[in-house]
Structure 1
Amino acid sequence: MTTPATTTRTVLEATGVTMRFGGLTAVRDVDLTVDTGEIVGLIGPNGAGKTTFFNCLTGLYTPAEGTISYRGTRLSRKPHLVTQAGIARTFQNIRLFANMTVLENVLVGRHTRTKEGLWSALLRSPGFRKAERDSEQRAMELLDFTGLATQRDHLARNLPYGEQRKLEIARALASEPGLLLLDEPTAGMNPQETRATQDLVRAIRTQGTAVLVIEHDMRFIFNLCDRVAVLVQGQKLVEGTADTVQADERVIAAYLGTPTDPTTPPGETPATTDDTGATP
């Protein structure tokens, strides 16, 4: 893989991101940065707002408040322009083209990096044919990188579950992102597949792509990430190294189901809540 040029150390900067659905605030005033060469984890109990936050970053949702910038440039609210800018993602529920081959799925991910237009495609111009060859070569490099090269002609639906996850990552990498967002990449995997995914994410970082990952597997997150941010009830509770986060009493309380107040310093008793679980 080709390491992308990096001129700005901060790849992603999200400031004050807030997302509301009617009267429900799903994400509230979240700040997060990801720097070049980093793997950052985003964790929290179910319903904490993690995927909603991802959807805000990638243009699927338009935040009510806040700004999101990639390499110092404020992002568009249109998903295809976010991908074009340099952010790619996978989804919690695998979204492959089931009746297309492994190679064809990865080629779909190349569309933001090809410049040939409709007429060039219809006329099969020399420029189009060269772009097609280059895209296939790049796709094969990614399949080799993810260990799927021998299955290039298999239908995506026929791959084992763990390899479908790899294929989704390969397709995301086909857009040549500077930042890759992974939404629960090890969900449903056995321990061997989880270790292989951990190695793959580290290899992606080594090749020059920063990674932001949501995951419920705490061992996976704490072994992998340089920093970890914790969301609880849509707010960022704490952020730091694995050791810092694991030692924070508020994080322990959140995962044990004890109501927490994100403003409560470590070691202090969390604020009480009303009968609905909402903090007064």
Structure 2
Amino acid sequence: MTEPLLEARRVSMQFGGLTAVNQVDLAVHPGEIVGLIGPNGAGKTTFFNCLTGMYRPTSGEVRFAGALLPPKPRRVAMAGVARTFQNIRLFHNMTALENVMVGRYCRTRTTALDAVLRLPRHRREEAETRAHGLQWLEFVGLEGAVDALARNLSYGDQRRLEIARALATDPRLLLLDEPTAGMNPQETREAEALITRIRWLGLAILVIEHDMRFIFSLCDRVTCLVRGEVLVEGDPATVQGDPRVIEAYLGAPVAGGPEEGDRA
């Protein structure tokens, strides 16, 4: 196994007296797809926010490619980590292409003065950013929606557009927060195929998802969080068959209740 690309070491996040994430260790290796599962309120998105600089962990550290990852979203993106959100965050009054171009600007050097004066560097980088955006729209299957406003796209297309914007940052690691939430079965299958193609590009992927069929068919490893702590980690078959995971999602049997085999 290669050295981890991303390594979270004993990461904790507290809000006052509430511990949302407690001493979580997690590693993602190059080219690997890792799933992060757990019931509602398990701390999955809070943990994502710690990884991407939106929250400064109360304790612990996050390393990327061996270096300490600063808790600042822009610097995290520049280091090579991109993400999508559980609740879609697009610029709804901008076109699909403009949304993707926004993601690319963390890789450009144009200043405000360059843009105002339309200096050669600004014109060159703007043309490169546009070409880059068109490529990613085609990659996710939105080449026909270049000039469409984001708000007019279907829900599934908005999800794909958010992924295209994340890819435009040229990441080495992509974090996906419930990428199939609200999708129908056909859209879910398309999302799975897209994520597989992203892995073929050489990216590592960490994904939060409640669709267990999606997670267990896609991921190389799965980590289950419960009440902010790692309950179990392993290959999909190991995690899927662990009775603690089943109990975390379904709850423990009621004392004196019907046996499992008697349940409808």
Tell me the TM-score range normalised by the shorter chain: over 0.9
Partner residue in 1 for 2:228: 234
Match of 1:262 in 2: none
Partner of 2:208 in structure 1? 214
CA RMSD of aligned residues (A): 1.0
Deviation at 1:137, TM superposition (A): 0.6
- Helix, strand or coil: the match of 2:114? helix
State the partner residue of 1:125. Answer: 119
Question: 183, 187, 196: which one pairs with 1:189?
Answer: 183
2:70 to 61, 73, 76: 76
Q: How does 1:151-190 map to 2 (within 5 A)?
A: 151-190=145-184
Shift of the alpha carbon at 1:258? 2.7
Offset of 1:117 from its aligned partner? 1.4
Q: Would you say 1:245 and 2:236 are equivalent positions?
A: no
TM-score norm. by structure 2 comes to 0.94
Q: Is 2:107 the partner of 1:138?
A: no
Alpha-carbon distance in structure 1 between the residues aligned to 2:5 and 2:203: 10
Q: Distance in 2 between matches of 1:111 and 1:92?
A: 23
**Structure 2 equivalent of residue 96 of structure 1:** 90
The aligned residue for residue 52 of structure 1 is: 46
TM-score, normalized by length of structure 1? 0.88
Q: Specify the alignment match of 2:259 in structure 1.
A: none
Could you tell me how far 1:142 is from its partner in structure 2?
Answer: 0.1
Question: CA offset at residue 257 of structure 1?
Answer: 1.7
Distance apart, 1:205 and its partner CA: 0.7
Residue deviations 1:195-243 (CA, integer Å, cap 9, x gap): 0000000111100111000000000000000000000010001111110
Q: What SS class does the counterpart of residue 216 from structure 1 fall into?
A: coil
Aligned residue for 1:41, secondary structure, equals: strand
Structure 2: distance between partners of 1:148 and 1:249 = 41
Q: Distance in 1 between matches of 2:31 and 2:21?
A: 26
- Aligned equivalent of 1:23: 17
Tell me the secondary structure at the aligned position of residue 181 of structure 2: coil
Q: How many residues align?
A: 252
Per-residue deviation, 1:9: 4.0
> Runs of 4 or more off by more than 3 Å in structure 1?
none
Amino acid at match of 1:103: L
| SS in structure 2 of the partner of residue 42 of structure 1 | strand
Alignment-mate amino acid for residue 138 of structure 1: H
- The CA distance in 2 between the partners of 1:28 and 1:158, in whole Å, is 40
SS in 2 for 1:13: strand
Give the corresponding residue for 1:112.
106
Indicate the SS of the match to 1:10. Answer: coil
Q: Deviations over 1:79-110 (max 9, x none)?
A: 11111111110000000000000000000001
The one-letter code matched in structure 1 to 2:169 is S
Q: CA deviation at 1:124?
A: 1.0
1:202 aligns with 2:202: no
Q: Give 1:265's aligned residue.
A: none
The corresponding residue for 1:10 is: 4
Cα 1:111/1:188, change in 2 over 3 Å: same
Aligned partners of 1:206, 1:135: CA distance in 2, in Å? 23
